[in-house]
């Protein structure tokens, strides 16, 4: 895509600002073709040396999904979601960067899903790496950096508060106000 026009710019920024974590989902199943469209976009996430150390495991099997729901109490959105996606990266392929590579891919999935009318929420996975590896049969060198619940949204949450730019953005050195 070439540089967006002024109108598109507003729409694109609005799209980014309009994403919310979705924790309530409609019962409707998500067609696999739509899930594939989302993952097809995720392939284009940036990664160190373009090594693309990721795999995406789409979990629709209720039995497997219910095991993932139980990894911790904040995984509850997966219960209602028709599917989950484990985003795992091979730490041997990218030892320094696999975490950020996988986080980039997860964010691309969330944004592509948002563009296609789907809702997602990131479920913490890094305290339950071995549990998740066992549940989805990941080899031990694949770290599940993100677990996403995905489906058609059944809520429209209000935006969560954000820190002000003054609090977090500096000019040249830490603590120096950005003017
Ligand atoms: C690394 C990470 C872990 C998270 N873990 C959970 C989680 O386990 N359960 C959950 O409901 N939300 C989880 N979230 C979602 C955050 O709570 C959410 O992104 C944050 O409150 C901001 O809200 P927003 O995404 O609607 O802007 C997680 C987000 C990130 C990035």
Residue whose CA is closest, atom 31 of ligand 1?
122
Note the pLDDT tens digit of each residue in 22-36: 999 999 999 999 999
pLDDT at 6 over 80: no
Q: Which of 19, 104, 106, 122 to mutate to test the pocket of ligand 1 (most atoms within 8 A of CB)?
A: 122
How is the chain split into domains, by residue range? 17-155
* Locus of tokens 């540089």: 3
Mean pLDDT, residues 145-154:
99
Phi, psi for residue 147 in degrees, rounded to 5: -130, 125
Interior CA angle at 35 toward 34 and 39, to 5°? Answer: 120
Mean pLDDT, residues 110-121:
98
Quickly name the fold that domain 17-155 has: NADH Oxidase (3.40.109)
pLDDT at 1 over 70: no
Mean pLDDT, residues 95-124:
98
Residue 74: how many other CB atoms lie within 10 Å = 11
Note the pLDDT tens digit of each residue in 34-86: 999 999 999 999 999 999 999 999 999 999 999 999 999 999 999 999 999 99
Mean pLDDT, residues 98-124:
98
pLDDT at 7 over 80: no
Give the ligand 1 atom nearest the CA of 20: 26
Would you state the pLDDT for residue 47? 98
pLDDT at 2 over 90: no
Give the ligand 1 atom nearest the CA of 22: 26
Q: What is the 3-state secondary structure (H, E, C) of 29-65?
A: CCCHHHHHHHHHHHCCCCCHHHCCCEEEEEECCHHHH
CA of 21 to the centre of ligand 1 (A): 7
Mean pLDDT of the chain: 97
pLDDT at 162 over 90: yes
Would you state the pLDDT for residue 5? 82
Residue closest to 38 by CA, chosen among 23, 56, 26, 14: 56
CA of 94 to the centre of ligand 1 (A): 25
Would you state the pLDDT for residue 150? 99
DSSP 8-class letter at 98: H
C-alpha gyration radius of the chain: 18
Mean pLDDT, residues 140-151:
99
């Amino acid at each position: 895509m070439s540089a967006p026009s002024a109108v598109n710019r507003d729409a694109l920024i609005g799209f980014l600002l309009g994403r919310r974590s979705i924790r309530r989902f409609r019962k409707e199943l998500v067609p696999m073709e739509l899930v594939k469209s989302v993952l097809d976009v995720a392939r284009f996430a940036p990664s160190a040396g373009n090594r693309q150390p990721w795999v995406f495991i789409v979990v629709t099997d209720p039995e497997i999904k219910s095991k993932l729901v139980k990894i911790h109490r904040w995984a509850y959105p997966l219960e209602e979601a028709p599917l989950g996606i484990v985003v795992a990266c091979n730490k041997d392929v990218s030892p320094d960067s696999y975490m950020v590579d996988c986080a980039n891919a997860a964010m691309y999935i969330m944004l592509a899903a948002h563009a296609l009318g789907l809702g997602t929420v990131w479920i913490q996975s890094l305290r339950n790496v071995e549990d998740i590896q066992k549940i989805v049969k990941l080899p031990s060198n694949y770290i599940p950096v993100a677990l996403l619940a995905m489906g058609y949204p059944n809520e429209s949450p209000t935006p969560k508060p954000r820190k002000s730019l003054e609090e977090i953005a500096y000019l040249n050195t830490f603590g120096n106000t950005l003017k």
